[in-house]
Chains A and B, each alone.
Chain A
Amino acid sequence: MTEQPHGTRVGVDIGGTFTDVVAVRDGEVTVTKTPSTPDEPERGVMNGLDESEAAAGYAPDAVDFFSHGTTVATNAVLEGTWADTALVTTEGFRDALEIGRQDRPDIYDFDAEKAEPVVPRDRRFTVPERLDERGTVLRELDEDAVREVAAAIDGTGVSAVAVCLLFAFENPTHERRVAEILREELPDVSVSRSSTVLPEIREYERSVTTSLNAALKPVMSDYVGDLEREVRGRGVDAAVKLMQSNGGLIDADAARERPVNTLLSGPAAGVQGATHVADRAGYSDLITMDMGGTSCDVSLVQDGEPVVSTDVAVGDYTVGVPMIDVHTVGSGGGSVAWVDAGGALRVGPRSAGADPGPICYGRGGERPTTTDAHLLLGRIDPEGFLPEDRDVGVADVRAAFAELGDELGMGPEETAQGVLDVANANMGRALRVVSVERGHDPREFALVAFGGAGPLHAPTLAAELDVPTVLVPRTAGALSALGLLISDVGYDYSQSMVRPWAGVDAETVATAFAELRAEGDSELAAEDVLPARREFERVADLRYEGQSFDVSVPLPDGEVDDGMLATIERRFHERHESRYGHADPEEPVELVTLRLHARGVVDSPETAAVAADGTVADAVAERREVRFAGDAYDAPIYDRDLLPAGGEFDGPAVVEGPESTVVLRPGQSAEVDPDGTLVVDTGVAK
């Protein structure tokens, strides 16, 4: 993987507004940002590479590691621009994909709408066949009927087919045979089957995931083809790797087969980047907070591993493949402040976005936003921030807050402070619930803040949640791109085997894991991962009989034998106790799913420490009046690039960097670590 240790590594992350490129060359980290080109994303990638090569001074053929965070699959889902797809399922279950779980999306809103089924009803077909819950054949597959269905599918003109039969995770024979026949009859149509995409119990979630995978395959295949051609065309020889939602990289061919695994590619890379930076600063239990213009993505990291979930919603669809659990709150720098019908001050969820954006962007925004509030309170540099060529000044921002304040009986600065208090209350509520739902107390975590607006809010937000430490990475504005460079290659495999634990024998489990591992070995080998660099993590999902919530139990190293089964069961009870607050070792347990994570270890690039010469005092660019809670302070404004490693300073203070601004309240302090990460002591007793 790293045959040329002194080569250049490049990570390219496409976001909604910017395409970020991070290049690491001889330990030097260079970040460049160019506008994204949503209609033709690969063009934005090429523009970004042009800029990066110029800024960091490397030639395309020096690139020995190229990884990419893509929004192609995500956008296709959010916009419904996937390929026309058919579904083949068990007789009697044609509508399971459309009915879903029967709950409606909003309890009180009469205008609420269910998600459109991924495959419309006239393209859903059934075949006579049936398995029972152990995978025993109750009714043989009618192959003639399958051929008839193939002919009907041919008439619909679709380019993809999903196959999802009942209990195929227990016994994939029928699904395999259906797929074979479809491939014979429809050679130009790509086929996805549930027993490879997501061999897990619950027919609705499995068929949504399989159908989405099928529908995204043509989209992803086109994009990856274009991207590879362009990248090769400019002289980059390194394999193109893509980030998956689980935080692991895969090669381009694997992404073509499993596009559904890339739905949270960019956000997952951001969490990986945050985890890496925090690990180097000595922190492993984290809440990450990526706040941009319109929203804030929140995730949990425990023991240095991002929390992965198998029921994350993307747009209107809950997708069953493992994804880093990203919770989105509608609160960003562009969130608009307003007074509602009951006279309360509200912030968001409406956002001014990037265009027109906050008033202070000078692009015609007229409603005050959280970014404007920061500006009025002195936390953002009016000189550096306001565009010179635009006709907007602090006075305009103050006037807007004065107008808003009139409705509330408050002055402009007081109103701006109120806007930040309300925005923090919104986010604080989300952060608390996200951690409490997982059974954690946010006070035991460090908050890692990134994205353009995260570091502005994080120290105050952390203090309100009693979180003692905030970390602000040096590349806070392009952390996803950095995450692309430090992640391992990673594949997830699973196999549902729902049965009483008492009846599970070691050999069955060992055999199932051996099969999953064989798949992992072959995929890692296809990516040229040497055997010594392959790691496999085995997990068993168990639950109490009759329960519906599984607990994942990692297996210890070694052969699966009776002793290991006993260990798994003991650990299940322990984990159940810690996660759900109760356990009962007498209660019968059942096995649900076996999982294997196959990892191809990638060495993280060496990055140079920030200079330790110079003093904190030298880094003071100016002093400015900054307001906190109604009081004005004469606060130092630090230039982040000049802060030396090991430097310490106290709040109130503002740290301005090229990508983000950090605001420390009175009573808080910060230290610069060797990577340049700001480690903020929020003033809360640990």
Chain B
Amino acid sequence: MSADPAAGDDAEVDPVTLEVVRNGCVAVAEEMNANLVRTGYSPNIKERRDCSCALFGADGEMVSQAENMPVHLGAMPFSVRAAVDAFEGDLNPGDAILLNDPFRGGAHLPDLTLVSPVFADPESDDPRLVAYAANRAHHADIGGSTAGSVAADSTEIYQEGLRIPPVKLIEDGEIDDDVFGMILANVRTPDERRGDVRAQEAANETARERVHGMVDEYGADTLEAAFEAVKDYSERRMRSELEAFPDGTYEFSDLLDDDGRGNEDLPVEVEVTVDGDEVGVDFAGTAPQTEGPINAVLAVTSSATYYAVRCVTDPEIPPNHGCYRPISIDAPERSLVNPEPPAAVVGGNLETSQRVTDVVLGAFATEAPERVLAACQGTMNNVTFGGTDPRGEDGDGADGEPYAFYETQGGGFGGRAGKDGMDGVHVHMSNTMNTPAEVLETAYPLRILRYSLRPDSGGAGEFRGGLGLRRDIEVRDHTARFSLLADRQRHAPYGLEGGDEGERGAAYLYDDADAYDAAADDDAADAGEKLPQKSVHDLPPGSVVSIRTPGAGGYGDPDERAPTAIDRDLRLGKLTPAAALARYGVDEGSSSAGRTQSDDADPADLDGE
């Protein structure tokens, strides 16, 4: 920060101070994030970085953000708003509000958000509120019917875990042990939760210290004016991007497979209207809220929408409230994208958010496909294993410990104008890292038998869709409770500009190693039992679950695909000769490519063909 701020007491903000303060605000959020990841207790925060931090002005509008997870992008302002609504006039230096209620500022129950007011002169009799620090972290368990709190079979939010409306967890720097004790009594791993919440508290303290430094440097008036200037700056850039986009109303719709309760083919519809430098996004026509746990609260729907608009405009625009001013969102009440209590919502954040992204991007693509991409895998493929680890310290199982393992799986990234999609990555609203097989097998009584790309799963096109993944997991010497929450197993990711759909996902269960080996050796993908995409099972010892994640849609006419690109995919074994013939009319003999030894030559890979 400049030692000699050019801005004077009249709170004018020049272009240099704007950039210097903007950097300062981003640094506050980044430092919060660095501290949260550093002091976080659970692997989900430390390793997978499933958390985000942001700084808000006294008016509750976001000024800067350090996000690891796009789904947090537009959702935290709802948290600050809910906290302020609940405690306006009763917020003092050293206070912090905790919440997770999806219907009052949250997204889904595992995401705990902590909001702390920041005062300019906390010691004075009449302290002046200048900012809020807020951070959100995905906790590995928040109670409810299954370990990990991602139950695919819940029908009401009450089954999904402990619901926390805005509560003053910390008052004048002291944690309220009564409230905290009640929370910890309702979760499976209280020590971890305590540690993670403490880390969230420390992150907000970092922000307090840094904002106090900025107040010392600039004065509260100038700082407030600079916050406003930072938001105005993003707003200007967003408006100029929208201005450049052709005016018009663009429609798109897509389907979610089901809600896990037998309600299938649920439409998500959108009408995107670009009018001058503003955009309206209307979800009229979307399915009503549903019984199963895939309802996305408005905060989540907004996040997914903001993400899509951000990607289609200039992703370099600093994310803050200014970006959102030109965007209006209408979501019908009691719908899949704006449900009422007591809807079950855990998968709304994970699955429906992806479909919201797909349709908003699809609408933009009807006008400017080159700025968008074909549909990505469109699911997070959530799997949870829980049970008792039969390996005691001596391996005799005598002192087996309960465990819960949750992970999501990457898949295909959509084909793009000029480029194939990426293979096997997390897409859109998710960007976590996977758990290495060696770490997983050391920590849990599970074994990874195969971890590979799925040949032919990317939709054909001039630029093909990215490949999905296959991950086969064996349950070792115990019975495991298994929950699967996935989508895009009935309705495939769409292609663009003549590109084909991506291959759908699937999940198979093999009773034992023999059945699995048989399936691997013969064309017997269906030697296993096909699992519904949203379901819960008890898996016997030795059984194997095979998760196949969707490939992405292709972009452009497959006939236009460069022969060298087809040859390359054949050579790399990402395309089989049969698929090359079927999709591109390329005969094996005409290609120079010959396949070498392959891990996945077995037809079990080619399920669903």
Could you tell me which A residues sit within 8 Å of B by CB distance? 91-96, 98-99, 101-104, 106-114, 120-126, 132-133, 148-149, 152, 155-156, 166-167, 201-205, 339-346, 408-410, 414, 417-418, 421-422, 424-426, 428-429, 432-433, 436-439, 460, 463-464, 498, 500, 502-503, 546-549, 579-582, 584, 587, 629-630
Q: Is B125 in the interface zone, CB < 8 Å from A?
A: no
Bound-complex Cα distance A293 to B322 (A): 35
CB distance from A168 to the nearest CB of B (A): 10
Chain B residues with CB under 8 A of A121: 453, 572-574
A-B contact pairs, 18 of them (CB 8 A): A95-B452, A104-B413, A104-B431, A113-B419, A121-B572, A152-B597, A341-B314, A345-B16, A408-B14, A422-B16, A425-B24, A429-B26, A432-B27, A433-B31, A436-B34, A498-B442, A548-B46, A582-B41
CB distance from B158 to the nearest CB of A (A): 28
Cβ-closest chain A residue relative to B428: A107
Residue of A101, A114, A149 contacting most chain B CB atoms (<10 Å): A101
CB distance from A180 to the nearest CB of B (A): 20
The interface size of chain B toward A, counting residues with CB under 8 Å, comes to: 92
List of 9 A-B pairs having minimum Cβ-Cβ separation, nearest first: A108-B315, A94-B599, A418-B16, A629-B4, A102-B410, A581-B39, A92-B450, A101-B433, A121-B572
* Main DSSP-derived SS at the B contact region: mixed
- Which segment of B129-137, B159-167, B194-202 sits at the interface? B194-202
Residue in A102, A108, A110 whose beta carbon sits within 8 Å of that of B70 in the complex:
A108
CB distance from B513 to the nearest CB of A (A): 11
CB distance from A457 to the nearest CB of B (A): 13
Q: Are A203 and B20 in contact (CB under 8 A)?
A: no
Q: Which of B417-433 contact A (CB under 8 A)?
A: 419, 422-427, 431-433
Chain A residues with CB under 8 A of B597: 125-126, 148-149, 152
Residue of B234, B409, B431 contacting most chain A CB atoms (<10 Å): B431
Residue of B19, B195, B426, B595 contacting most chain A CB atoms (<10 Å): B19
Chain A residues with CB under 8 A of B35: 436
Q: Is B182 in the interface zone, CB < 8 Å from A?
A: no
Chain A residues with CB under 8 A of B67: 107
Cβ-closest chain A residue relative to B26: A429
Bound-complex Cα distance A124 to B597 (A): 8
Cβ-closest chain A residue relative to B569: A121
Q: Is B582 in the interface zone, CB < 8 Å from A?
A: no
Cβ-closest chain B residue relative to A96: B451
Besides A109-B315, A133-B441, A344-B15, 10 other A-B contacts (C-beta < 8 A): A99-B434, A125-B596, A203-B438, A341-B236, A414-B6, A422-B23, A425-B20, A582-B41, A582-B198, A630-B4
CB distance from A660 to the nearest CB of B (A): 22
With A202-B438, A422-B20, A629-B4 in contact, do A342 and B27 touch (Cβ < 8 Å)? Answer: no
Chain B residues with CB under 8 A of A148: 597
Cβ-closest chain A residue relative to B421: A110
Q: Are B441 and A132 in contact (CB under 8 A)?
A: yes
Q: Are A201 and B20 in contact (CB under 8 A)?
A: no
Chain A residues with CB under 8 A of B23: 422, 425-426, 428-429
Bound-complex Cα distance A548 to B232 (A): 41
Q: Are A122 and B425 in contact (CB under 8 A)?
A: no
Q: Are B599 and A99 in contact (CB under 8 A)?
A: no
CB distance from A12 to the nearest CB of B (A): 37
With A122-B571, A166-B438, A547-B46 in contact, do A341 and B423 touch (Cβ < 8 Å)? Answer: no
Residue in B199, B237, B436 whose beta carbon sits within 8 Å of that of A202 in the complex:
B436
With A95-B451, A114-B425, A498-B442 in contact, do A425 and B437 touch (Cβ < 8 Å)? Answer: no
Bound-complex Cα distance A410 to B18 (A): 14
Bound-complex Cα distance A254 to B397 (A): 46
Q: Is B598 in the interface zone, CB < 8 Å from A?
A: yes
Cβ-closest chain A residue relative to B472: A92
Bound-complex Cα distance A102 to B23 (A): 30
Q: Is B2 in the interface zone, CB < 8 Å from A?
A: yes
Q: Are A579 and B19 in contact (CB under 8 A)?
A: no
Could you tell me which B residues sit within 8 Å of A by CB distance? 1-4, 6, 14-16, 18-20, 22-24, 26-27, 30-31, 34-35, 37-39, 41-43, 46-47, 67, 70, 191, 195, 198-199, 202, 206, 233-234, 236-237, 240, 307, 310-311, 314-315, 317, 372-373, 393-394, 409-410, 413, 416, 419, 422-427, 431-434, 436-439, 441-443, 447-453, 469, 472, 571-574, 595-600
Q: Are B424 and A342 in contact (CB under 8 A)?
A: no
CB distance from B531 to the nearest CB of A (A): 21
Chain B residues with CB under 8 A of A587: 191
Bound-complex Cα distance A256 to B228 (A): 57
Q: Are A582 and B39 in contact (CB under 8 A)?
A: yes
With A91-B599, A425-B1 in contact, do A99 and B438 touch (Cβ < 8 Å)? Answer: no
Chain A residues with CB under 8 A of B453: 95, 98-99, 121
Bound-complex Cα distance A436 to B33 (A): 10
Cβ-closest chain B residue relative to A549: B46
Residue in B393, B431, B572, B574 whose beta carbon sits within 8 Å of that of A500 in the complex:
B393
Chain B residues with CB under 8 A of A107: 67, 70, 431
CB distance from A112 to the nearest CB of B (A): 8
CB distance from B393 to the nearest CB of A (A): 6
Q: Are A166 and B437 in contact (CB under 8 A)?
A: yes
Bound-complex Cα distance A109 to B443 (A): 35
Bound-complex Cα distance A549 to B199 (A): 15
Q: Are B599 and A549 in contact (CB under 8 A)?
A: no
Residue of B16, B27, B35 contacting most chain A CB atoms (<10 Å): B16
Q: Are A92 and B451 in contact (CB under 8 A)?
A: yes
Chain B residues with CB under 8 A of A166: 437-438
Q: Are B15 and A201 in contact (CB under 8 A)?
A: no
Q: Are B199 and A103 in contact (CB under 8 A)?
A: no
Chain B residues with CB under 8 A of A133: 438, 441-442
Q: Are A93 and B15 in contact (CB under 8 A)?
A: no
Cβ-closest chain A residue relative to B47: A548
Cβ-closest chain B residue relative to A433: B30
Q: Are A546 and B315 in contact (CB under 8 A)?
A: no
Chain B residues with CB under 8 A of A204: 436
Residue in A91, A99, A101, A460 whose beta carbon sits within 8 Å of that of B469 in the complex:
A99
Q: Are B19 and A92 in contact (CB under 8 A)?
A: no
Residue in A103, A418, A426, A432 whose beta carbon sits within 8 Å of that of B432 in the complex:
A103
Cβ-closest chain A residue relative to B441: A133
Cβ-closest chain A residue relative to B313: A108
Chain A residues with CB under 8 A of B419: 111, 113
Q: Are B30 and A429 in contact (CB under 8 A)?
A: yes
Chain B residues with CB under 8 A of A629: 2-4
Q: Are A502 and B393 in contact (CB under 8 A)?
A: yes
Cβ-closest chain A residue relative to B414: A110
Residue in A93, A460, A548 whose beta carbon sits within 8 Å of that of B451 in the complex:
A93
Chain A residues with CB under 8 A of B27: 428-429, 432-433
Chain B residues with CB under 8 A of A102: 409-410, 424-426, 432-434, 469
Q: Are B573 and A104 in contact (CB under 8 A)?
A: no
Residue in B311, B423, B600 whose beta carbon sits within 8 Å of that of A110 in the complex:
B311
With A342-B234, A439-B38 in contact, do A94 and B433 touch (Cβ < 8 Å)? Answer: no
With A101-B433, A464-B1 in contact, do A437 and B38 touch (Cβ < 8 Å)? Answer: yes
Q: Are B39 and A343 in contact (CB under 8 A)?
A: no
Q: Are A202 and B439 in contact (CB under 8 A)?
A: yes
Chain B residues with CB under 8 A of A418: 6, 14-16
Residue in A104, A113, A433, A630 whose beta carbon sits within 8 Å of that of B426 in the complex:
A104
Bound-complex Cα distance A260 to B311 (A): 37
Chain B residues with CB under 8 A of A584: 191
Chain B residues with CB under 8 A of A433: 27, 30-31, 34
Q: Are B43 and A548 in contact (CB under 8 A)?
A: yes
Q: Are B425 and A201 in contact (CB under 8 A)?
A: no
CB distance from A298 to the nearest CB of B (A): 14
Q: Are B236 and A342 in contact (CB under 8 A)?
A: yes
Cβ-closest chain B residue relative to A546: B443
Cβ-closest chain B residue relative to A503: B393
CB distance from A398 to the nearest CB of B (A): 18
Residue in A104, A123, A126, A579 whose beta carbon sits within 8 Å of that of B38 in the complex:
A579
Chain A residues with CB under 8 A of B37: 437
Bound-complex Cα distance A548 to B44 (A): 9
